[in-house]
Amino acid sequence: MEKLFIGGAFVDAADGATFETFDPATNEPIARIAAGKAEDVSRALASARRAFDEGPWPRATIKQRAGLLRKLAGLLLENADALARLESRDAGKPFRETAERDVPRAADNCAFFASAIEQREGPAFFDRCSFLGKEREIASLVRQEPVGVCALLTPWNSPLMQATWKIAPAIATGNTCVLKPSELTPLSTLKLAELCSQAGVPDGVVNVVTGFGPDAGAPLVADPRVNAIAFTGSEATGIAINVAAAKTLKKVTLEMGGKSANVVCDDADLETAIEGSVLAMFRHSGQVCLAGTRLYVQAGIFDRFVERYLARVNALRVGDPQAKDSDLGPLISPQHRERVEAFVARAEEEGTTALLRGSRPENGVLARGNYLSPTVFAPERDDQAIAREEVFGPVLSLFRFKSLAEVILRANDSRYGLSSYIWTRDIATGLRFAEGIRAGMCWINGYFLRDLRQPFGGMKYSGLGREGGRWSLDFFTEPKLVCIAY
């Protein structure tokens, strides 16, 4: 039985309630988890509040905090294999990815924010002014103080990476926190809590309340004891959280969904553009916020590109996420697969051409899981639901375009603005696209080449604020002016 982590100890939910989580590859139960509710959130917040208001953590030296985060990074790497297996099993993500990317990145997040606080510089201003009839020197210092108690809420698709992405900058800057992982994939976050304790994080600094969104997430974000909320998840939840946060005037950062445009120009390096576009769309079976789900290919190479692209997508192996050669694991749950299939069915009802039609595997062990092979649609219009809404599965909308100006307008005709991609040999074309696109991120000839110093986040309904690098440090701190007249 997996318990809540409150005040440095694993404890049952106050009412003893539990729920099961399932392996998306088989739909067999994996674990029984404590179902936290308002009373548990309250206990966790009392613990985080005490650790912040009275505990040593906000007053620890930079060296102490950085040292501890490096220790945590080391522990993540020591446990890398087990964590990568757990994450793969819990989220249905290919083990190759969790082992090569997610777990090393989780460790990097901790080590990165250790260095970031060591190197962070604070502003100081010097001037002269007249005060009470006398000329005085003025020295203004800015203290970068922790915000306080932070509510961190994470989605199911990359749980460990997301948890460290929020916990590391939050605690590096002296905050305490209560993290609410997704009810679908809480296991690696609970392991992370255990490793935090092993690394020497004082009791109450990191708390984890597992449970469902309305039961555990909603009371957490509404509680006045919380000073800041860092959320990653869906648009509807993000908006509800923003409303709750406004009522108690909390700082908020929201990382939400996307329908990102991926543009391939006539002059692109075809091989790189094909491989990059396949990765940008089908990694983790399209269950990635950054997925390039609207693919625009320029008329001059359209036929050549599409033929080779489809052959490449057809060759992707759908299979057991724990197996070395699987490219696409299962979708997270039977309900989520049905939701994705409903998008496909609706597009077909509208008469949309499917260049490739995904399906459930019918035989063998795969039939027990939530697998779905890739679908590639060529919608007639940009405003069809399949081309507008976030499907969050292996379903692509493919379009032809003629000019850069046209594709920028079409790419921007979206409620979302998270990421964008362009493949071209002409750097001026790439930069013009980067200037024109209304999205928080633009990769030219690349996909998710992520330097931890970069800002991460989106415009429009993809989010509010940014995380990453100094943007995370700014979010998790309050600048306090100390002005000295002498």
Q: Which residues bind ligand NAD (CB under 6 A)?
A: 153-157, 180-183, 213-214, 217-218, 221, 232-234, 237, 240-241, 255-258, 289, 390, 392, 418, 458, 463
> Any catalytic annotation for residue 247?
no
Report, in Å, the least distance between residue 151 CB and ligand NAD: 9
Alpha-carbon distances, residue 103 vs 74, 207, 280, 370 (angstroms): 11, 20, 20, 24
If the CB atoms of residues 229 and 268 are measured against ligand NAD, the closer one turns out to be 229
Report, in Å, the least distance between residue 90 CB and ligand NAD: 13
Residue type, 470: R
Candidates 17, 14, 47, 10; CA nearest to 34 is 17
> Any catalytic annotation for residue 177?
no
User: What is the b/e burial string over 51-63, where b = at least 16 CB atoms within 10 angstroms of the residue's CB?
Assistant: bbeebebbebeee
If the CB atoms of residues 270 and 459 are measured against ligand NAD, the closer one turns out to be 459
If the CB atoms of residues 309 and 447 are measured against ligand NAD, the closer one turns out to be 447
Q: Which of 265, 289, 341, 442 is catalytic?
A: 289
If the CB atoms of residues 30 and 141 are measured against ligand NAD, the closer one turns out to be 30
Q: With H, G, I as helix, E, B as strand and everything else as coil, classify residue 234.
A: coil
If the CB atoms of residues 70 and 251 are measured against ligand NAD, the closer one turns out to be 251
Residue 243 host element (H or E) = helix 235-247
Report, in Å, the least distance between residue 336 CB and ligand NAD: 8
> Any catalytic annotation for residue 467?
yes
Report, in Å, the least distance between residue 138 CB and ligand NAD: 42
Q: Which of 2, 183, 235, 467 is catalytic?
A: 467
Q: Which of 87, 183, 255, 390 is catalytic?
A: 255
Report, in Å, the least distance between residue 157 CB and ligand NAD: 5
Distance CA 32, CA 211 (A): 11
Report, in Å, the least distance between residue 162 CB and ligand NAD: 7
Distance CA 44, CA 480 (A): 27
> Any catalytic annotation for residue 166?
yes
If the CB atoms of residues 276 and 465 are measured against ligand NAD, the closer one turns out to be 465
Residue 277 host element (H or E) = helix 270-282
Residue 338 host element (H or E) = helix 334-349
Candidates 176, 165, 239; CA nearest to 472 is 165
Q: Where are the alpha helices (DSSP H) in 368-415?
A: 385-388, 404-412
> What percent of the residues of the chain are helix, what percent strand, and what percent coil, each to the nearest 5?
40, 25, 35
Distance CA 347, CA 377 (A): 8
**DSSP notation for 23-58:** -TTT--EEEEEE---HHHHHHHHHHHHHHHHTSSGG
Residue 251 host element (H or E) = strand 251-255
**Inter-residue contact 247 to 222 (CB < 8 Å):** yes
User: DSSP character for 317?
Assistant: P
If the CB atoms of residues 321 and 457 are measured against ligand NAD, the closer one turns out to be 457
Q: Which of 166, 180, 191, 259 is catalytic?
A: 166
Report, in Å, the least distance between residue 284 CB and ligand NAD: 10
Active site residues per annotation: 166, 255, 289, 467
